[in-house]
């Protein structure tokens, strides 16, 4: 039976795979996530997803590794601002204040990598790499709330490890006017439908067969 490897420390991505019956092995990549000069949010999330998958695939040749990353951006006074994980209550409140009454775009990328051993190459870091990377866009239209409401929300749900400072699967949904997305899982952190299509077309793996296979 095929075993997938998830190159992520995100408990949300792990849970999304578990929700569809996929028990992936977890391997946490350690990469530099600093944006490159003038790098767009879309390019950033695709590059980071690939770097995560590549690093683990090179460590585990022959395994199919899933890398994923999400980048959010909102229009600020001087152009687009990338919204990272807030880390603190004050940062989360500041992010949400910035988003009030605006459209915020979330770019979520998936990269699949499989490293093949090359007998002529002694170093696995130079092994052949079979890879594909794709991304999806989600637009979140924010309602307008008072700062006291935003602070109360943050203190209640503590979305400090979430880009954009909310959990859409919880009370965070009450911050929105509407969401435009192909897959409701994408905003949580993993485009499950896109992952299914990529595995099927590129590696001939049907997630439904994998999820329903008896051990």
Which residue ranges form the domains of the chain, and what is each CATH number? 4-212 (3.90.950.10)
The neighbouring-strand residues paired with 160 are: none
Pairwise CA distance, residues 49 & 69, whole Å: 5
Question: For residue 121, what are the CA distances in angstroms to 56, 60, 113, 118?
Answer: 18, 16, 18, 5
CB atoms under 10 Å from CB of 34, counted, come to 8
Task: Specify the pLDDT at position 188.
Answer: 94
Name the one residue in this structure whose structure tokens are 């009454």.
101
Q: Is the pLDDT of residue 108 over 90?
A: yes
Task: Specify the pLDDT at position 215.
Answer: 54
Q: Is the pLDDT of residue 124 over 50?
A: no
Place 97 in a pLDDT band, splitting at 50, 70 and 90.
very high
Per the annotation, the verdict on 69 as an active-site residue is yes
- Contact between residue 112 and residue 203 where contact means Cβ atoms under 8 Å apart: yes
Structure tokens belonging to residue 178: 């509407």
Which of 175, 210, 172 is CA-nearest to residue 192?
Answer: 210
Name the one residue in this structure whose structure tokens are 């602070």.
151
Tell me the whole-structure pTM to 2 decimals. 0.90
Q: Is the pLDDT of residue 125 over 60?
A: no
- Contact between residue 93 and residue 146 where contact means Cβ atoms under 8 Å apart: no
3-46 pLDDT, tens digit each: 899 999 899 999 999 999 999 999 999 999 999 999 999 999 99
φ, ψ (nearest 5 deg) of residue 47: -65, -45
> Within the chain, how many helices (H) and strands (E) appear?
6, 7
Find the helix packing angle between 147-157 and 89-99, rounded to 10°. 130
179-202 pLDDT, tens digit each: 999 999 999 999 999 999 999 999
Q: In whole numbers, what is the pLDDT of the chain averaged over residues?
A: 92
Q: Which of 30, 32, 38, 69 is catalytic?
A: 69
Pairwise CA distance, residues 99 & 102, whole Å: 5
Task: Report the first-to-last Cα separation within the chain, whole angstroms.
Answer: 8
């Amino acid at each position: 039976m095929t075993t997938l490897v998830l190159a992520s420390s995100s408990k949300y991505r792990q849970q999304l795979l578990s929700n569809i019956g996929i028990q992936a092995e977890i391997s946490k990549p350690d990469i530099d996530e600093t944006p490159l000069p003038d790098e767009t949010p879309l390019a950033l999330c695709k590059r980071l997803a690939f770097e995560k998958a590549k690093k683990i695939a090179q460590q585990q040749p022959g395994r199919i590794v899933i890398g994923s990353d999400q980048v959010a951006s909102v229009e600020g006074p001087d152009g687009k601002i990338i919204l990272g994980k807030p880390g603190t209550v004050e940062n989360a409140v500041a992010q949400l204040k910035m988003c009030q009454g605006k459209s915020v775009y979330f770019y979520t990328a998936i990269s699949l990598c499989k490293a093949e051993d090359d007998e002529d190459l002694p170093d696995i870091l130079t092994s052949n790499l079979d890879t594909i990377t794709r991304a999806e866009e989600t637009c979140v239209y924010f309602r307008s709330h008072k700062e006291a409401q935003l602070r109360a929300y943050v203190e209640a749900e503590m979305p400090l490890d979430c880009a954009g400072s909310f959990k859409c699967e919880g009370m965070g949904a009450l911050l929105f006017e509407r969401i435009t997305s192909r897959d409701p899982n994408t905003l949580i952190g993993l485009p499950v439908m896109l992952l299914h299509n990529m595995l099927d077309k590129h590696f001939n793996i049907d997630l439904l067969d994998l999820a329903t296979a008896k051990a």
